[in-house]
Amino acid sequence: MAKLQVVGLFFLILNVGFIFAQNNATQSVPQYLALVADTKIASAQVQDFVVQQMGKLKQQFPDIAAQIDQDMQSLTTSNPTLPWKNPADYHTTVFYLGYNATLMQSDFYTQFQPGKSYALQSSTFVYIPGTIMCTPVFPSPKINIANKCPHITLKINKWEAFKSNAVLEALFVNGGPLQTQYQADFFMQQEQTLAKRFQSMKIGNDTVDVYIIKTNYNTDKHLDLTGVAQYCDDAKSKETSTSSQQLNFFLSVMIAALSYLLF
Ligand SMILES: *[C@@H]1O[C@H](CO)[C@@H](O)[C@H](O)[C@H]1NC(C)=O
Ligand SMILES: *[C@@H]1O[C@H](CO)[C@@H](O)[C@H](O)[C@H]1NC(C)=O
Ligand SMILES: *[C@@H]1O[C@H](CO)[C@@H](O)[C@H](O)[C@H]1NC(C)=O
């Protein structure tokens, strides 16, 4: 009997060790920090918003109606058909570490509070035909964000999601055409509206036409999401990593308890 209890104790120690090792693993260097919205809620809101803003852009710029119709063919539901795709999730990046442990000493990292909720609201839509759709956001409460133009990538086609940074920086900073408005918090003001086309903008090595439309937040469809602060890693799925950790923890405790009681 005593021997079996030793075996039980061995299992218990093994499992506790396993849990500690796992907790250690969760503190490994994340790829980036982000405010992540619930995918179901976000995809429904994004779909309504995209449909509305593309319709308004079509009225405003009838010369690109054919291009808008072509893009909208792919975007008739919240699950687009190629060539458009949804981003892996809807989030606002706070700080990109790229797995670099040195950057865990940065204020962006140390001030980050995982689990905290932020409002992500917008009535501004940025569109490059056949290429990418994104929206600037201004998380509330305020949080220090490393990116010059905090945003959510809404839909992607030719360009990857990270290119939203370059698109919004071309518009809003470094002498971009909407720098004055951006600095004056124009895009945070609910009732302000604007619709513009900027032709032949240089973004990276590409030259593209950029469309931006801001509608009235109060009277038109808009984005009103809750982003939860999370350590992120695109190589792992966020939800499964959290739930599988919880499951593993639960199983470890159960196995430890059972083995101790049974033997
Ligand atoms: C946890 O991580 C620390 C620092 O990286 C390391 O020294 C320690 O051995 C690890 N503990 C376990 C149980 O893996
Ligand atoms: C990690 O970040 C630090 C600080 O910015 C930088 O000096 C270093 O070169 C980076 N390391 C790697 C492997 O990129
Ligand atoms: C632009 O093109 C050059 C030469 O092909 C390449 O080295 C550079 O990385 C490109 N820059 C961007 C931002 O894609």
Ligand sitting nearest the alpha carbon of 160? 3
Whole-number Å distance, alpha carbon 109 to ligand 1 midpoint, is 20
Query: How confident is residue 262, by pLDDT bands cut at 50, 70 and 90?
Result: confident
Ligand 2, CB within 6 Å, residue ranges:
100, 102-103
* For residues 199-212, average pLDDT: 97
How many Cβ atoms are within 10 Å of 22's Cβ, its own excluded? 14
* For residues 81-104, average pLDDT: 95
Nearest CA to ligand 1 atom 4: 24
Per-residue tokens: 14 = 């093994």
> Has residue 231 got a pLDDT over 70?
yes
Nearest CA to ligand 3 atom 5: 205
> Has residue 239 got a pLDDT over 60?
no
**0.85 cut: is pTM over it?**
no
Query: How confident is residue 71, by pLDDT bands cut at 50, 70 and 90?
Result: very high
> Has residue 20 got a pLDDT over 70?
no
Query: How confident is residue 184, by pLDDT bands cut at 50, 70 and 90?
Result: very high
Nearest CA to ligand 1 atom 12: 21
Q: Which of 153, 157, 155 is nearest to 130 (CA)?
A: 157
> Has residue 176 got a pLDDT over 90?
yes
Whole-number Å distance, alpha carbon 24 to ligand 1 midpoint, is 6
Whole-number Å distance, alpha carbon 198 to ligand 3 midpoint, is 22
Greater confidence, 263 or 104? 104
Query: How confident is residue 157, by pLDDT bands cut at 50, 70 and 90?
Result: very high
Q: Over the chain, what is the mean pLDDT?
A: 90
Asked whether 204 lines ligand 3 (CB < 6 A), one says yes
> Has residue 139 got a pLDDT over 70?
yes
Torsion 95-96-101-106 (CA) sign: negative
